[in-house]
Amino acid sequence: MNVSRNFLLVGSLFLILGILIGMYMGGSGEHTLAPAHAHINLLGFVLSVLFALVYRSYADMGASKLATYHFWLHVVGTAILIVMLLMLLTGKITEAGMAPMAPLAELAVLIGVILFLVNLWKNAK
């Protein structure tokens, strides 16, 4: 798959959601969702676009299976984290209710970044 393009596409979807939540907060004066807004934009958009640009700059990295695994771990992990964070901030679940899904989603994002580093080490020439 074209990991770079897919990271750009998914990242842009995260950005649209992040901006919509930002606009809601700005308009309503209700800033409870700020941590979710920050992570949708930073983890969802900024990191995805940075990964896309690296995979585009280093073609051998983008062509590696490690990049595909990283893409899925990052996207699925981030999406789960954001949904759970939104549920927490809107009182649908408690802090205790975040386990075990949120830690697993964080682990997925972390493993994705470790694969990114391994890929850099092996293929960024």
What is the binding site for ligand HEM (CB under 6 A)? 18-19, 22-23, 25-26, 31, 34-35, 37-39, 41-43, 46-47, 106, 109
36 touches 18 (CB < 8 A): no
Give the C-alpha separation, 36 to 93, whole Å. 15
Q: Compute the least distance from the CB of residue 111 to ligand HEM, in Å.
A: 11
Q: Compute the least distance from the CB of residue 90 to ligand HEM, in Å.
A: 14
Indicate the residue among 66 and 109 with the shorter CB distance to ligand HEM.
109
Residue type, 62: G
Indicate the residue among 37 and 70 with the shorter CB distance to ligand HEM.
37
Q: Compute the least distance from the CB of residue 78 to ligand HEM, in Å.
A: 8
Q: Compute the least distance from the CB of residue 75 to ligand HEM, in Å.
A: 13
Residue in the shown chain whose Cβ atom is closest to ligand HEM: 22
